[in-house]
A and B are shown apart, each in its own frame.
Chain A
């Protein structure tokens, strides 16, 4: 049908024969897109007397907002914490590949590294929108080096640091810059952390608690100062104890300010967290659960030895260990695998599983007005899935960027 639009002459795409995730429910509604954003068809009809230029038949598939991965260390042989000669190329390769998993935006994550790595990588990796070349980069996630020695996990001990110079100056010295940084994971029990948490939060950088031996009070204080995320809940922190629940206690803490939510990352690969523990967390605080892959270099690669940060790792099946030990050093599950596993292990609804990978990370990063939802005006980053939650197609800004 010919267009008759007074507001814009840009082409309008109407996705039909689909179920869309809106208002926390899967609904049989068409999805309209124009100029890379979700369009209000009622407004189009009455205000502009307009209609679709192109129809996409989704053949009954589910349309969800594109997935957002806030913790991914690399994949397909690429390690974001390595200063190679082509840092941008490496990020771009992973960005392209993860489109197959329904991921449309991500935070390239750097584990504890020496200052020269941060200085190099952070100047190369910039925030940019996704498209046909790959998922969008929302900023980097710096996991370390201001973390606890006791809970370093797979991070290299020699590069751990503390806030000995008072706080922010240590950060700037280590990282070089805070431009293009979206998230910092730190251990709040480190002296002088309060100033750092406040300052980072004020700059709009998400502060996450992790690799820490903080008790619940220390964790609560950090939240009051601005921390809003927990890095891979249960892993690299004190275990839940009924007289001091530690960081895990934040899920049900009454010290969290009213207007704020504490989100928590969950590696739902069936390995990093026992299903029963996953269910306890989910039931205690369902709206805060954020699925993350914490995927490492070897994700997407065959079994064997590969590098992660400054260390060597070994793949055995779906497990990735620090070579020669039993310490897990990240997962090789993809985001869509995590969504499926989470749904199956927690018994949650399809909507909840999808929101844990889209809406919740968007809310965490404070970008839910344009990402993580299919509300009118939001960016048209979409993932088309079948009922078993297998990814069939991925769209960024209304453009198809991958199809099975």
Chain B
């Protein structure tokens, strides 16, 4: 099936819950086992936090296990220590990995301190290939419409590589580094647009008014490398999950159309499939 779905929910918490249920149901329906891992692509940042909290709840209630799940994160800063509180390794450990039953060898995060960064990126692509490709890649969207660190102007055919961060991104990140611009990393390793496009399914989470313009550019305007999330208009299976605030720059007509489909779309998350 080839579909694009826009899921519109009331607020941030509902987005987190819907997305977590979607992931949960996907894993359960996939029925992973020792020879058949479910491959999940994961983001970092404020947007997926609510979703991660819910996934942890589902794990604690015994609804899912991550024993046969492999994860590939989208990105990591270059040059900050792996145990820096703002590294994406720390983020994933504190906000997801330490609370669930995933094995370390099944998690993959780019190493921003690798001796050879290009080799590290190429090797990451190899690992995804060796795992059989990504079943579901979850991502967020930047205010400038970027997916992962594919800043405006990135090639839509790009693969995992070293990227210099845009000024907007550095400014937005300053708040995590004591507001000191000199402490903010200026480079990152990131999956490419094409890397995410290769996933069998993609789910993008968008919440908040500051993301509204980017969402508009991503789905109501054309495919354009200045708004790299727009590339997913050409992906066979994409779900955009957003809250009402994020829809503020969309046409009323678009919003009403997708809101009208919620009773159908909600069947994807409730009820929970039996195992």
Contact = CB atoms under 8 A, between A and B. Distances in A.
B104 A50 contact: yes
B234 to A, nearest CB: 36
A4 interface: yes
B103 A49 contact: yes
Interface in A190-219: none
A45 B97 CA distance: 9
Interface residues on B, range: 10 to 19
B82 interface: yes
A43 B98 contact: no
A46 B103 contact: no
B237 interface: no
Which of B94, B98, B104 has the most C-beta atoms of chain A within 10 angstroms of its own C-beta? B104
Contacts of B103: 49, 51
A42 B104 contact: no
A45 B104 contact: yes
A41 B105 contact: no
Nearest to A40: B83
Interface string B20-62: 0000000000000000000000000000000000000000000
Interface string B69-105: 0000000000000110000011001100110000111
Given A4-B105, A50-B104, A51-B103, A45 B83 contact: no
Interface in B145-177: none
A42 B98 CA distance: 8
A43 B83 contact: yes
Contacts, number: 26
Contacts of A50: 104
Interface residues of A, number: 12
Nearest to B93: A42
A46 B105 contact: no
Contacts of A45: 93, 97-98, 104
Nearest to A42: B93
A40 B103 CA distance: 16
A41 B89 contact: no
A41 to B, nearest CB: 6
A42 B105 contact: no
Contacts of A49: 103-105
Contacts of B93: 42, 45-46
Nearest to B82: A46
B273 to A, nearest CB: 27
A48 B89 CA distance: 14
A50 B105 CA distance: 9
Contacts of A43: 83
B89 to A, nearest CB: 6
Interface string A1-18: 000100000000000000
Interface in A11-54: 30, 40-43, 45-46, 48-51
A40 B90 CA distance: 12
Given A46-B89, A49-B103, A41 B98 contact: yes
Nearest to A41: B98
A41 B98 CA distance: 8
Interface in A38-74: 40-43, 45-46, 48-51
Nearest to B106: A49
B53 to A, nearest CB: 13
B104 A46 contact: yes
A41 B105 CA distance: 15
A51 B98 CA distance: 10
Nearest to B111: A46
Nearest to A45: B104
Interface string A318-341: 000000000000000000000000
A41 B104 CA distance: 11
Contacts of A41: 98
Contacts of A48: 104
A216 to B, nearest CB: 40
A284 to B, nearest CB: 32
B92 to A, nearest CB: 9
Contacts of B89: 42, 46
A50 B104 CA distance: 7
Nearest to B97: A45
A204 B82 CA distance: 36
Contacts of B104: 45-46, 48-51
B111 to A, nearest CB: 10
A184 to B, nearest CB: 41
A49 B83 CA distance: 15
Nearest to A49: B104
A272 B159 CA distance: 72
A116 B209 CA distance: 81
A50 B94 CA distance: 16
Contacts of A30: 98
Given A4-B105, A45-B104, 15 more contacts: A30-B98, A40-B83, A41-B98, A42-B83, A42-B94, A42-B98, A43-B83, A45-B93, A45-B97, A45-B98, A48-B104, A49-B105, A50-B104, A51-B103, A51-B104
Interface of A: 4, 30, 40-43, 45-46, 48-51
User: Which 4 A-B pairs have CB atoms at the shortest separation, nearest pair first?
Assistant: A49-B104, A42-B93, A45-B104, A49-B105
14 contacts: A4-B105, A30-B98, A42-B83, A42-B89, A42-B90, A42-B94, A45-B93, A45-B97, A45-B104, A46-B104, A49-B103, A49-B104, A49-B105, A51-B104
